[in-house]
Homo-oligomer: A and B are copies of this chain.
Amino acid sequence: MYEYRPPLRDYRFVLHEVLKLQEETGIAGYAELTPDFTGSVLEEAGRIAREVLQPLNAVGDAQGCRLGEDGEVTTPEGFRAAYDMLREGGWPALECDPDYGGQGLPSVLGLAVGTLNSAANMAFMMYHGLTHSAYKALHAHGTEAQKRTYLPPLASGAWMGTMNLTEPQCGTDLGLITTRAEPGSEGAWSITGQKIWISSGEHDLAENIVHLVLARTPGAPAGTRGLSMFVVPKFLPDAEGRPGARNAVRCTGVERKMGLHGSATCAMAYDGATGWLVGEETKGLRNMFTMMNEARLLVGMQGLAVAQAASDQAVQFARERLQGRAVTGAQNPDGPADPIIVHADVRRMLLEQKAFTEGGTGFLSWVAMLNDAEHRHTDAAERERAADMVALLTPVVKGFLTDEGFRSATVAQQVLGGAGYVRDAGVEQLVRDVRIAMVYEGTTGVQALDLVGRKLGLKGGKPIMTFFDYVKGYIRDNEDDLHLAHQFLGPLKEASKDLQRAAMFFMQAGMKNPNAALAGAVDFLHLFGHVCMALVWSRMAKAASAALAEGTEDTAYYEAKLATGRFYMSRVLPATKLHLARIETGAEPVMDLPAASF
Contact = CB atoms under 8 A, between A and B. Distances in A.
Interface string A415-438: 001101111100010011001101
A315 B598 contact: yes
Interface stretch (A156-164, A170-178, A368-376, A532-540): A170-178
Contacts of A593: 347, 351, 560, 563-564, 567
Nearest to A351: B590
Nearest to A444: B414
Contacts of A348: 519, 522, 590
Interface stretch (A115-123, A228-236, A322-330, A465-473): A322-330
Contacts of A246: none
A567 B590 contact: yes
A293 B331 CA distance: 31
Contact of A337 (B176, B423, B439): B176
A322 B566 CA distance: 46
Interface string A97-123: 000000000000000000000000000
Contacts of A420: 439
- Please state the number of chain copies in the assembly: 2
A574 interface: yes
Given A315-B598, A577-B577, A336 B435 contact: no
Contacts of A596: 556
Interface string A146-160: 000000000000000
15 contacts: A171-B418, A173-B323, A255-B423, A257-B422, A257-B423, A258-B428, A319-B598, A343-B445, A344-B515, A345-B519, A347-B591, A414-B443, A418-B440, A428-B435, A556-B596
A541 interface: no
A418 B448 contact: no
Contacts of A560: 593-594, 597-598
A344 B255 contact: no
A166 interface: yes
